[in-house]
Amino acid sequence: MQFRFVHNNINVLDLDKSLKFYEEALGLKETKRNIPASGDFIIVFLGDGVSNHLLELTWLRDWDRPYNLGDNEFHLAFVVDDYDAAHQKHKDMGCICYENTGMGLYFISDPDGYWLEILPTR
């Protein structure tokens, strides 16, 4: 028996804002979308065009408050081939929320406060 990663899910308050952020900040593109007839939710899958792993964004029509992220210890990690350019881009976007120069990494925060780790290709 073998398991493999398929996707991670996060819930978002403003789907359009999140889609714009993930495309601008990380180059993720929509791969598929699920909208039930009831309109209760929308699920959008984003891919990087390289790996098979997807990020699932879920928007709930009746959710009206920020999501409780607890201590925000959960995060997704991304490797980038041009770390310095990525850092400058994220600095210009104003989304860097934590830097650890000693470890050579930093985190950005999405519109809902989820942290995303950025690592150089090693």
State the virtual CA torsion across 119, 112, 32, 93 in degrees, nearest 10.
-50
**Active-site residue numbers?**
117
Query: Which among 14, 46, 17, 24 has a CA at the least distance from the CA of 93?
Result: 24
Instruction: For residue 28, report the phi and psi dihedrals to the nearest 5 degrees.
Output: -80, 140
